[in-house]
Every structure is written in C-alpha cells, then in structure tokens.
Amino acid sequence: MSDYNFAYLDEQTKRMIRRAILKGLAIPGYQVPFASREMPMPYGWGTGGVQVSAATLTPDDTLKVIDQGADDTTNAVSIRKFFERTAGVETTEVTAKASVIQTRHRIPEAALNEDQILVYQVPIPEPLRFLEPRETETRKMHALEEYGLMHVKLYEDISQHGDIATSYAYPVKVEDRYVMDPSPIPKFDNPKLEMAAIQLFGAGREQRIYALPPYTKVVSLDFEDFPFVASKADHPCDLCAAEDSYLDEVILDDAGNRMFVCSDTDYCRSRRAEGHVGRLGEQEGAAA
Amino acid sequence: MQKTIEQSSFSGGFSEPAFDAAYGFRAAMRAMARPGERQEIGGAVPPAGVSDAAGSLLLTLCDPETAIYLTSEFDTPALREWIAFHTGAPVVAPERADFALGGWEAIAPLERFRMGTAEYPDRSCTLIVEMPFGEAPNATLRGPGIKDSRDVFLPAVAPFQKNALSYPQGLDFFFTSGSELMALPRSTSITAKG
C-alpha cells in the first residue's frame, strides 16, 4: 500500500486546502469555504480535520491524534493508522513530542509551544446555525457583525436555567470581529484558545476551514453580571489526583458508584508516572 | 542556487513535488501565522531575476485554478513559460488576479487588486513582493500571531496601514528575498517607527 501520494490527497487538492488555510490565518475566525473531498471514512469521523492535517503534514512531523482527550479510542487510533500508512510520519501519544496534533473535542492539558500545530475536527462550523438555518443569512450576519441573536440565546439560557447552560461549543469572539465556534470542546478549554501554537479548524461535511494564529485574542461571550466561567466536574482525578484537568465521569456499577478520570489520557499517564496517585489509583507497577 | 545559461523553462521545478510543496507550505503557513517573522523556503529555481523564495511559493500555491498577475519587470517570456510549464496558472490583469508577483514600485497602486467582499473576504489577492531584506526596521507590527510587537522593514508604511483599515477585507502580502520570506496579513496593525 505504498502507492498513495504523500499524505493521501493529490497535490492539487492540497494546494486548494493550503490556500484556504492561509486565508483563514489572515482573517482569524472567518470560515473559508473549501472544496472538501470524500475521504475513506464517513462524515462525522473527522474528514475535515484529516484533510487539513494531510495538507499540513511534512515528512519530518510527529503526529498525535486524540478523541475527547484520549489517544486510544477508535477514531484516534484509526486516523493515526491512516497517516502512518499514507504519510509514513512518526506518531506519538506524548503531547510534548508531537509537532502536529489532530483533536476531536478537546485541547490537551499541557500547554502547547510555538512549533506545534493543533488541528480540530469540526462538525458544525457555523456558531449561528442553530439560531438561523439559512447560510445566506448567517453569512450576512457575519458580514454585518450582527451577533445580537447569540447574546439573546445566552440570555435565554440565564432566564430559563439561572445560568449560561451552554457547556460545550461555547461561542467566542475573535479579535473583536468574528464570532466563532471553537468546535465542541468543553467550555473548560475555552481560555486555552489563546495559545502559542497555530490552531486550524476543518469541517469536512460543511466544507469550511478556519484558523487562529498564535496569541490571537479570543474572548468567550458573556455578560457583565454573568461572566464566563470555565467549569469542570468539582473533583480531583481518581487515578492521578489532578485538580486542574478536565474530567470524564465513569459509572462503575449498578449501586451508584462512579469515578472521575482525566479525559486527557497522556496528561493522566504522565502524572501517574511522576507518582501522583488518586482515590482509586493503583500503586506504581500495577497494570494501568 | 547558481542559474546557468542552460536553464530552460522545463528546469527549476520541485525535484520531489509532494515533499517540497509540503515544506514550502509549512514555511508559508508559519510566515502567515507569525507576521513579520522570516522563514526559509526553497526547492524551486525560477528564471533569473526571480528569487528562489518567490518561485517556491508560486509552485507551492499556484495551479490552473489560480490566476497570476506579473508586473512589467517580471512579465518576461522566460517566467511566463516557467509558470505555464510548472503550474499551468494563467497570467492575467491585476483586477482578476489571485496572486501577484512584482517589486514594490511596480506592484502599487494596491487599489487595483481584489480585496474580497464583506461576505467573502477570502476572495482577495495575495501579493508576492520581491524586496531586499536586512534594512533597518521602519514599522512596528501588532496583532494576531504576534505576542507583543515585532519590528520589521516594510517598503512603505501608509499603504499597508490603509489596507489593514479595510479589515476583514483586504490584501495579504508575502515579501520574498533570496531563500527567505515573511508575511503581512491584513489583520496586522502597523505603526511607523521613529
């Protein structure tokens, strides 16, 4: 199976995607239309992120793929294998060793550096889509900077639930201009959107690419009396005792027992390797 | 690389197209994501008078779908044939161009290039400006991709300030010299230095 072009896509497709990425970086938060290709995986499995990664990878890169923070779930494993086979690049599960990280719905806990690139898989790139279904209208709303509807939505959250109930895909404003969907990352991750790495967003089915250059100003929408809060489950990790990481809740049995574990598997593993042990963690040397 | 008399329009392309273009794009992307920061780019050897950086950028980004404008000094049969053979891109008038190549004096005025529409600001021209690097900085850049500020030399200041004012519409620039390039997207705010 060595007969693929480097990184699967043909060169003309890569050039088209690369031009879209450059325009995306020049207009942070703006959704650039691109001619998304069919990929050998179904829509909803990261075809946008895969195309952006394919256009971005060089033979020297080390790729990491995560799905909800985990390196070992189906989506992450199959995309990692896809690029091992079609691009021949090195792969890793260690955040600090990766030069390109493709992610579904999380930002790694460890801070990324200037030489790293974070590629997001995006299902619905248009933050206004659930408020206004017509593309012609939402495009006009972005052009006119008409974002009142989004604030009404957040206000209705408060009036119905007493709080902004949006907990993931929490809308942000980029450089005081475009309202952007950060993809369905938990709002806990929103403050990390201002980072040193290049962030690229690919939506395959919806045929949009957008981007955030390093240190771009990204502000989560809120109100003066209801400021944005980056919330997480109020527990330490039961395996590594981390207080500062985003947690998944795992039901253990029918008796109501549950545990909370880091969603970032690499972060959790590296902490356990350093000797941190949580409530249900096993001592060093035991099976992980 | 040394340009020899034997060079033809068929030579000077990428020797490993997929790999050279991947490295070329990484340089272009890092440049666009960090305005004013210089990046190394190479792989192509265009006809005499054109920098390797500009030639490599053209081969990385251009194909039959992208129209190129060449200023009169660059609009030579040798470069036209080289672009036609290696990219297939048509050479057009500035009003229709997706990419433009030239020196600063000849590429101005900027008003003749497409700056995108309010709804599709991405439908704008990318200008590749050949100029010498290494002169003393005359402008300070701030904005996306720049941690605090970055001092650079620009061939002029006022036209780029005007371009940034029309954000999110506007033009994006690559400056090329030898085997180096740097970028100035429309999102960067520019103040004259000194």
d(CA A94, CA A165): 33
A29 counts as catalytic: yes
Taking 70 as the pLDDT cut, the residues of chain A under it are 1-2, 283-288
Query: Which H or E run includes A261?
Result: strand A258-262
| B172 contacts on A by Cβ (under 8 Å) | 22-23, 26
CB contact under 8 A, B62 and A15: yes
Q: Taking all residues of chain B, what is their mean pLDDT, rounded to a whole number?
A: 95
CB contact under 8 A, B29 and A18: yes
Count of beta carbons in the 10 Å neighbourhood of residue B192:
12
CB contact under 8 A, B29 and A25: yes
| B174 contacts on A by Cβ (under 8 Å) | none
Indicate the residue of A6, A30, A140 with minimum beta-carbon distance to B18.
Answer: A6
Indicate the residue of A22, A140, A214 with minimum beta-carbon distance to B145.
Answer: A214
| CA–CA distances in Å: residue A250 to residues A185, A238, A256, B11 | 19, 10, 11, 61
Q: Residue ranges of the alpha helices (H) in B142-194?
A: 158-165
Per the structure block, which two tokens stand in for B156? 């002029």
A240 counts as catalytic: yes
Indicate the residue of A28, A139, A198 with minimum beta-carbon distance to B29.
Answer: A198
pLDDT digits (tens, 9 = 90+) for B83-92: 999 999 999 9
CATH number for the domain spanning B18: value is 3.40.50.11310
pLDDT digits (tens, 9 = 90+) for A75-116: 999 999 999 999 999 999 999 999 999 999 999 999 999 999
CA distance B109 to chain A (A): 21
What pLDDT score was predicted for residue A1?
Answer: 44
A268 counts as catalytic: yes
pLDDT digits (tens, 9 = 90+) for B8-30: 889 999 999 999 999 999 999 99
- B31, pLDDT greater than 90: yes
Marked catalytic residue, from A48, A49, A204, A237: A237
User: Nearest-CA residue of chain A relative to B87?
Assistant: A12
| B187 contacts on A by Cβ (under 8 Å) | 26-28, 175, 213
What is the number of domains present in chain B? 1
CA distance B65 to chain A (A): 9
CB contacts < 8 A, A to B, total 114
Domain coverage including residue B138: 5-192
Give the mean model confidence (pLDDT) for residues B165-186.
Answer: 98
Pairing label, strands A117-121, A198-203: parallel
What pLDDT score was predicted for residue B3?
Answer: 53
Count of alpha carbons within 13 Å of A103, Cβ hemisphere only?
A: 31
| CA–CA distances in Å: residue A32 to residues A9, A17, A18, A70, B64 | 19, 10, 11, 29, 20
Per the structure block, which two tokens stand in for A225? 């009396």
pTM for this model (two decimals): 0.96
What pLDDT score was predicted for residue B94?
Answer: 97
What pLDDT score was predicted for residue A281?
Answer: 82
C-alpha closest to that of B63 among B84, B81, B42, B44: B84
Count of alpha carbons within 13 Å of B69, Cβ hemisphere only?
A: 23
| A83 contacts on B by Cβ (under 8 Å) | none
Dihedral sign, Cα of residue A216, residue A220, residue A226, residue A232: negative
